[in-house]
Chain A
Amino acid sequence: MVKKSVLRILLVFVSSSFFTNTLAELRIEITQGLDNATKIAIVPFVWKGKRMPPVKIDEIVSADLTISGRFEAIDQAQMLSYPEEESQVFVRDWRMLGVEYLVFGRIEPDGVMVKLNFEMFDIAKGTTVLSQSILGLPNELRDMAHYVSDQVYKEVTGTEGAFSTEIMYVTVEENADSRLFSLNIADSDGRNVRQILESDEPLLSATWSPDGRFVSYVSFEREGRPAIYLHELKSNNRQVLTSFSGLNGAPAFSPDGKKIALVLSKDGNPDIYIMELQSRKLRRVTRHYGIDTEPSWSADGESIIFTSNRGGQPQIYQLRLEDFQIQRLTFEGDYNAKASLLRDGSALVMVHRREGVFHIAMLDLRNGRLNVLTETSLDESPSVAPNGSLVIYATQYRGEGILATVSVDGLLKFRLPSSSGDVREPAWSPKTKKSFNPLD
């Protein structure tokens, strides 16, 4: 009986993964990694189940760490042995290969669940530095693998990883006389793509609620007119939040998830409004004949960062909601837009034009220093990972729209091309997709 239900779960898993393969996956390519990447060996994990494992945990962990740019995972064919426990580790063999860390593990059925044990061995110290067991459902093996990657990453680098997060983005297929827009969510490694919405009218500005349960976006699906939608991911239920005449754009959830800042031009020109989600009450918070758009919130929810051309060109301003005081934040360059604050409020990430080329830049608000992070062009839509160390953005590569990521220190750079069509409008999920509690 138990066996049957496991089989059924596996079947569902296999068929759903078959379905997702029909959607364009994103492939991650490192364009700039660290010179002194940490050499790590991810040994094939022992699989105690009867059938072949649907996914290979060690391969996912190895790919995750490699595409982080901070690790070099050695080829499994180079390994002299595949240890399953600490007593089987011959330190000298691994030293010879220049390996600094060794990760091995075991997966076995546990009732209807799957139990994963993994350990990390520090070759220099000669001891195990990480050892955990976690339980998950058979269809959560990918998530469990990303969890392992996060633990390894944190142990070695001392900072949180972003492997268990998701990325939402828009793809556009250009046909002879039509365009097909699609809103998708993928795991942060570009796999496991799920489609949220498809439309032959524009879709843009998708953003996550802080708890990751809802998304909001602008869709022109109703007679080619824009409306802001609130969409619950689990149920696929959605509602129109605003569909006024004129612009309905740039939704941004407040940090407590109770409000959405958005842009309407119903009163004459683009201004920023705040909608209380419970009551749907609207409050206008900017009032200027210029363009005010692209609101984002400070982490404390007490101010809003936005783009305005009130000074003649688009620049970034901060609005304090308590007294409506507005302060200009950017002065370098003639086009700064779509800014968001890092969670600690120390810096802005934004689109910045330099010598006619659009880049992603970071402005350190403590010392006023502006750091251009990207060398690509036509860069837009920056979105910061929940760990605060990576920025995903949209750019052009060989004439196609693709996503790319860059670390906030500018040292690591990646491209995420899609197997088909233009990709744009990335939004990094605000928290980990699935967390596992280590067993004692």
Chain B
Amino acid sequence: MNFHRIQRLLGTGLSAIFLVGCASQEPEYTGPSEPIEESFVEEQTAEPVGPRVESGKLVVSSSDSMGISETLGGIFLFDFDQAVVRRSGHAELDKHASALSGDRYLRARLEGHADERGTREYNLALGERRANAVRAYLVAQGASNSQIEVISYGEEKPFNTMHNESGWAQNRRVEIVYR
């Protein structure tokens, strides 16, 4: 079996792994509005039916044009010692809420996080407040409480390990992970 055959067999699957590998090593934070895998997902999608879960993320058919699917941004940021969902995140959260209310079998875990400043247990409590705030928003927009699990990791799982304001800003977050 030569290399080309393997390549043909694995085909796009291999390139998908490559893409994802690049994405996870990319040090620069791209934010929820620009999902890295988007172009790849567009090529692969044949006919979008309801939402589907890909490595914890939710892929839905786009609202504006038929046949195009979109991976929803799963990270929402917060201010220091605050648990208020920023207005800039509302549009994306609305899409999550509508997907959840449209498919009652969807299950999401809201992972609350804090930056490293302050004490660990207080930050666990703070991370939970943030995840609860996102849950309240989603439920208000039609999702069901039973679809959502909240877990706080406090400052234990930083997204960015830099010890500065830009690192901290990315770590004060809630991640929506689908299963």
Contact = CB atoms under 8 A, between A and B. Distances in A.
Contacts of A396: 163
Contacts of A168: none
A268 to B, nearest CB: 9
B120 interface: yes
Contacts of B121: 204-205, 249-250, 263, 293-294, 307, 338
Given A358-B117, A358-B118, 14 more contacts: A202-B156, A204-B156, A220-B156, A226-B151, A247-B124, A265-B125, A291-B122, A291-B129, A293-B121, A307-B119, A335-B81, A380-B118, A396-B163, A399-B163
A177 B156 contact: no
Given A294-B119, A378-B163, A380-B118, A249 B157 contact: no
A307 B128 contact: no
15 contacts: A179-B157, A204-B121, A220-B156, A225-B151, A226-B124, A247-B124, A249-B124, A265-B125, A265-B128, A270-B128, A307-B121, A314-B118, A335-B118, A353-B118, A380-B119
Contacts of A358: 117-118
A338 B119 contact: yes
Contacts of B122: 291, 293-294, 307, 309, 314, 337-338
Interface in A61-84: none
A17 interface: no
B70 interface: no
Contacts of B119: 294, 307, 337-338, 351, 380-381
Contacts of B81: 313, 335
Contacts of B117: 358, 378
Nearest to B153: A202
A263 B125 contact: yes
Contacts of A179: 157
A246 interface: yes
A409 interface: no
B114 to A, nearest CB: 12
A202 B120 CA distance: 11
Interface of B: 24-25, 81, 116-122, 124-126, 128-129, 149-154, 156-157, 161, 163
Interface residues of A, number: 38
Contacts of B24: 177
A221 interface: no
A177 B21 CA distance: 10
A323 to B, nearest CB: 26
A224 interface: yes
Interface in A314-349: 314, 335, 337-338
Contacts of A225: 151
Nearest to B24: A177
A313 B81 CA distance: 8
Interface string A234-276: 0000000000011101100000000000010100001000000
A311 B81 CA distance: 13
A99 B116 CA distance: 47
A270 B25 CA distance: 36
A205 B81 CA distance: 21
Given A202-B156, A351-B118, A381-B120, A291 B163 contact: no
A304 to B, nearest CB: 14
A183 B163 CA distance: 23
Interface string A164-204: 00000000001011010000000000000000000000101
A176 B27 CA distance: 11
A358 B152 CA distance: 22
Contacts of B118: 314, 335, 337, 351, 353, 358, 380
Interface string A206-246: 00000000000000100011100000000000000000011
B104 to A, nearest CB: 20
A396 B117 CA distance: 11
A336 to B, nearest CB: 10
A204 B156 CA distance: 9
A224 B154 CA distance: 13
